Amino acid sequence: MSDFSRSASTRPALCRECDRVMHLPARAPGEAAHCPRCHHHVAGPAQRDMQRPMAWALASLVLLGLVFAFDFLSFSTRGVGHTMSFVDAAGAMLGYDYPSLAAILLATTVLLPGAYLAALLYIAAAAQSGARVPGALVLARMLRPMEPWMMADVFIVGVLVSLIKVVSLAEIEIGASFVAFCGYALCLLRTLMLIDWVTLWDALAPVPPLAPEVRAGRSGRRQGLVVCAGCDAPFHDNPHHRCPRCGRRHLSHGADRLQLTWALIVTAAILYIPANVYPIMAVTTLGSTDPQTIVGGVISLAAHGSWPIALVIFVASIVVPISKIAALAWLCRIAGRGGHADSRSQMRLYRLTEKIGRWSMIDVFVVAVLGALVQAGALMAIRPGAAALAFAAVVVVTMIAALTFDTRALWRDAPTGDR
């Protein structure tokens, strides 16, 4: 393998998932780059400029503003009706003394995505103009860690599940706010797909130079290299443990991350017990209140013939959390033993575990929407239960556990790194 100083058409890169040093070639518009060792997505499709993601980000913000201008959903049964706005879902959680659920709902659906889009427009405009603007590097390094916590698409599925649950019991009308929210979620996803972080960061700050003896095809750890989690720049570790490009602190190899992941897994497993023992919501019909657990809700939906929606709730609320806890425990066990002979299969398991975890939040969003929408006094009402908070905590803790897990520990470093 040649060193980077001899190749003008490539640039240094270090895979954050398997720790392999590589050459990142120049990309034509639309071309992406993957790690040859673990197939990690090192660089997204190259963009000619930042105008397309900026346009989609601006459209997302406009649609987000429209979400608050109209009614979201309307509910009526036997002459008694109720109309909710988007913020009523969070307001209902506050009214039922669940401020943490209200904070999770607002943060994951509008606050974090809104801040993300506004910051992206700011730094993209700076990169497009070539001007040095204050705070651009700080904002840029904060954006990518926010992406897993933006759940506008999950919320839409939660709303659809809620509607299916009550459509046979009442009349439901979809407001303009819900249509705007769907458009906002789609534009947000499109924006995330179009961002070329490699080019964007190159426009904001140069990649720090590496020593001439650094060679591709070998692990970064053996060459004293680490990769920044904020800007993906490889650099030689320093006493301050900060990236010389964006200033973000990094986490190097070590047992502390493995222990942290184990602690989070155990915490999630403990929280999953009250999440299933206590009722997740209480349904009042004609003055009679029926508390429902997660499993009870699935059984009730299946008994009423709603098999597809029962299956969605069963997978999102039961199969996914248990599978994620078990998968992370298995990966921690492998990492503690120094890696695995089939590391690529373990990486596929990790990526699947990381991607599906956020979808368990569907049940929490269902409770929030139903609690705000179904308000007809003693005739019909739905209120959240203690399990909703415990289950939201399970989802959050397992997501943090997946993000803290050090995937580099799954790979047994060979002399050449070519495994």
Kindly report, residue by residue over 305-324, the tens digit of the pLDDT: 778 778 888 988 899 999 99
Q: Which of 17-21, 31-35, 50-54, 339-343 has the lowest mean pLDDT?
A: 339-343
**pLDDT at 2 (0 to 100):** 36
**pLDDT at 241 (0 to 100):** 76
- C-alpha distances (whole Å) from 67 to each of 70, 87, 93, 164, 375 are 6, 9, 19, 22, 21
pLDDT at 5 over 60: no
- β-strand partners of 380: 285
For the stretch 384-415, pLDDT in tens is 889 999 999 999 999 999 999 988 888 865 43
**pLDDT at 30 (0 to 100):** 85
**What pLDDT band is residue 119 in, cutting at 50, 70 and 90?**
very high
- Is 0.85 surpassed by the pTM of this model? yes
More confident residue, 392 or 219: 392
pLDDT at 349 over 50: yes
Distance CA(34)–CA(43), nearest Å, equals: 7
Quick one: average pLDDT of 147-153? 94
pLDDT at 283 over 90: no
**What pLDDT band is residue 376 in, cutting at 50, 70 and 90?**
low
- C-alpha distances (whole Å) from 130 to each of 98, 170, 198, 205, 243 are 46, 56, 15, 10, 22
pLDDT at 44 over 90: no
**What pLDDT band is residue 77 in, cutting at 50, 70 and 90?**
confident
Quick one: average pLDDT of 220-238? 85
pLDDT at 10 over 80: no
pLDDT at 363 over 50: yes
Question: What are the start-end ranges of the H helices in 278-385?
Answer: 294-303, 307-314, 320-336, 343-356, 362-373
Distance CA(120)–CA(128), nearest Å, equals: 12
pLDDT at 168 over 80: no
For the stretch 175-198, pLDDT in tens is 999 999 999 999 999 999 999 998
Task: Evaluate the CA torsion angle 104, 17, 228, 328 in order and state its sign.
Answer: positive
pLDDT, the chain, mean: 85
**pLDDT at 379 (0 to 100):** 64
**What pLDDT band is residue 6 in, cutting at 50, 70 and 90?**
very low
Sequence-separated (6 or more) residues with CB below 8 Å from residue 246: 137, 138, 140, 141, 201, 205, 228, 230, 231, 233
pLDDT at 255 over 60: no
| Percent residues over pLDDT 90 in the chain | 38
pLDDT at 416 over 60: no
